[in-house]
């Protein structure tokens, strides 16, 4: 069986699971599927659902925030509404040098559409994209 027959889940390392819970559940509003251990931390892992899928594993680790790349991207229908909702919840959108952003932090995406980036408390980068 090829891997394409199975769902994939993104794993995100965080330095403090308590701060991560505040961000991923409180600010992003992701529903918790279950929690469990991470290495030597009894309650150091969370699994979240996004859309209709189990999509994100967040775990406490010393490797948190080490990547500058985008860790995961949400594809949405109404980027403006999602950015406004997250901004109201306290999420700050990143602005990158040499890219033109609107007042919300949204920029044109290469190939068409629009994109906005934000970071979790450890500096893990996420994107929200829309074809409109």
How many residues are recorded in the chain? 132
The domain boundary residue, chosen from 41, 62, 83: 62
Q: Are 13 and 56 in contact (CB under 8 A)?
A: no
Same domain flag for 124 and 86: yes
Q: Return the structure tokens found at 61.
A: 């680790």
The rounded distance, in Å, linking the Cα atoms of 129 and 132 is: 9
Where in the sequence is the domain holding 93, given as residue range(s)?
69-132
Each of the 132 residues of the chain gets a pLDDT tens digit; together they read 888 998 889 999 999 999 999 999 999 999 999 999 987 888 899 999 999 988 899 999 988 988 989 999 999 999 999 999 999 999 999 999 999 999 999 999 988 999 999 999 999 999 999 998
Is there a single domain that holds both residue 40 and residue 76? no
Instruction: Provide the whole-model pTM.
Output: 0.91
CB 7, CB 53: distance < 8 Å = yes
């Amino acid at each position: 069986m090829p891997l394409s027959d199975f769902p994939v889940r993104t794993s995100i390392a965080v330095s403090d699971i308590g701060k991560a819970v505040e961000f991923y559940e409180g600010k992003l509003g992701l529903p918790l599927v279950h929690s469990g251990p991470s290495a030597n931390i009894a309650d150091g892992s969370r699994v979240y659902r996004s859309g209709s899928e189990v999509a994100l594993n967040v775990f406490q680790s010393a490797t948190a925030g080490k990547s500058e790349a985008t860790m995961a991207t949400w594809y949405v229908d109404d980027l403006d509404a999602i950015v406004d909702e997250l901004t109201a919840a306290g999420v700050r959108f990143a602005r990158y040098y040499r890219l033109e952003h609107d007042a919300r932090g949204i920029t044109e995406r290469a190939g068409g559409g629009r994109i906005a980036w934000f970071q979790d408390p450890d500096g893990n980068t996420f994107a929200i994209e829309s074809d409109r």
